C-alpha cells in the first residue's frame, strides 16, 4: 500500500503492535511468554502486557499449557475461516465439490499446501453416515498423506529436496515416506498417473483419491479429493466412477482458474 502524506496522522501504532503480536504468536512453534514476546517486538514488558491483555480479553489469544504463556485463540481461527471462504478458488470449487459429493456419495475436499502442511479449504461431507474426519481448517503434515504428495507434485526435484531438508519425517503407517527418496517416489508416481489412490496410507481403514488443480500458469495450486472410511466406498466403482469424476471436477476447477492446458493426466 502506498504510504499517505499524512501517514503519521493516520497510522495507528497500537493496532499495528497488536497485529504484530498475532503475527509473532502465529509464527512460533510453541506458546510464548510475555518476556519472549517483548524481546521479539523490542518493547517493554509493560507495553506488551497491555497488548496481550487486550487481545486475550477479545479472545484473539489464549493461555498456553504452561503458566504465563500465550498462543493464538479462537477469534483468529474465525477470521481465518472468513478469509478462506472469501478466496476465489473456494467460491469456484464449492458447488463443484458438492456436485462431486452427490454423484459419488463420498465426502469431498479442496486442499492447498501451506508450508509443510496440507490445509483443508473446503469440505462437503457425505450425506450418509460414512463421513470424513477432515473438515475445513484441518491441517496435516504433507509428507504423511496422498493429498500432500498430490500438492507436492507441482514442485521440482530441487524444490522437493529443499522441502525435505531438516524435516523430521517419523512414520505414521507403513506407507509413510521417511526420507526425500521415498517421498519423491510417491510424488513421481503422482506426476506419472495424474492422480493417486490411498488405501490406509495415513489411517488404517480409510481411503481417498487425490487429483491436482492447476492455475492459468499450469502450476499446481490445490488438490481435489474424495475421502472417507472404507465402509463408505464401493470399491468396484473406483475405476468407473470415483477416479474419472474426481478428475473431471479438478479439471473443471482448473478451467475456472484459467488453466488452458490439455490436462491429459486428468482426462485419461
Could you tell me the pLDDT band of residue 156, with boundaries at 50, 70 and 90? very high
CB distance 25 to 38 below 8 Å: no
Residue 266 binned pLDDT confidence (cut-offs 50, 70, 90): very low
Half-sphere exposure of 183 (CA within 13 A, CB side): 31
Q: Are 133 and 159 in contact (CB under 8 A)?
A: no
Average of per-residue pLDDT across 30-47:
94
pLDDT at position 57 is: 92
Kindly indicate the confidence band of residue 154, based on its pLDDT and cuts at 50, 70 and 90.
very high
Q: What is the pLDDT of residue 77?
A: 75
pLDDT at 257: 85
What pLDDT shows up at residue 1?
A: 56
- Contact indicator for 118, 110 with CB cutoff of 8 Å: no
Contact, 132 vs 198, CB < 8 A?
no
Distance between CA 234 and CA 246 in Å, rounded? 15
Render pLDDT for 84-110 as a digit per residue (tens, 0 to 9): 666 688 888 999 999 999 999 999 999
Q: Residue 133's pLDDT band (boundaries 50, 70, 90)?
A: low
pLDDT at 265: 46
pTM to 2 decimals?
A: 0.66
The whole-number pLDDT of residue 130 equals 55
Amino acid at each position: 500500500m502506498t504510504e499517505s502524506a499524512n501517514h503519521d496522522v493516520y497510522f495507528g501504532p497500537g493496532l499495528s503492535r497488536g497485529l504484530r503480536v498475532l503475527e509473532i504468536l502465529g509464527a512460533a512453534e510453541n506458546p510464548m511468554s510475555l518476556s519472549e514476546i517483548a524481546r521479539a517486538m523490542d518493547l517493554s514488558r509493560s507495553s506488551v502486557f497491555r497488548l496481550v491483555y487486550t487481545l486475550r480479553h477479545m479472545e484473539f489469544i489464549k493461555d498456553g499449557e504452561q503458566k504465563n504463556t500465550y498462543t493464538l485463540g479462537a477469534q483468529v481461527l474465525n477470521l481465518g475461516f472468513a478469509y478462506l471462504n472469501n478466496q476465489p478458488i473456494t467460491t469456484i470449487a464449492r458447488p463443484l465439490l458438492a456436485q462431486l459429493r452427490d454423484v459419488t456419495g463420498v465426502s469431498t475436499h479442496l486442499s492447498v499446501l501451506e508450508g509443510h502442511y496440507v490445509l483443508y479449504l473446503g469440505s462437503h461431507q457425505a450425506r450418509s453416515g460414512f463421513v470424513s474426519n477432515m473438515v475445513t481448517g484441518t491441517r496435516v503434515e504433507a509428507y504423511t498423506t496422498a493429498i500432500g504428495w498430490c500438492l507436492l507434485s507441482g514442485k521440482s526435484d530441487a524444490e522437493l529436496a529443499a522441502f525435505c531438508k531438516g524435516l523430521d519425517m517419523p512414520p505414521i503407517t507403513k506407507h509413510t515416506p521417511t526420507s526425500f527418496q521415498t517421498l519423491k517416489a510417491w510424488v513421481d508416481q503422482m506426476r506419472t498417473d495424474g492422480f493417486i489412490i490411498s488405501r490406509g496410507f495415513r489411517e488404517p481403514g480409510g481411503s481417498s483419491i487425490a487429483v491436482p488443480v492447476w492455475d492459468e500458469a499450469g502450476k499446481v495450486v490445490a488438490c481435489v479429493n474424495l475421502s472417507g472410511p472404507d465402509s463408505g466406498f464401493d470399491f468396484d466403482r473406483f475405476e468407473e466412477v470415483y477416479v474419472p469424476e474426481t478428475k473431471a471436477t479438478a479439471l473443471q476447477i482448473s478451467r475456472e482458474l484459467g488453466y488452458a492446458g490439455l490436462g491429459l493426466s486428468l482426462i485419461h
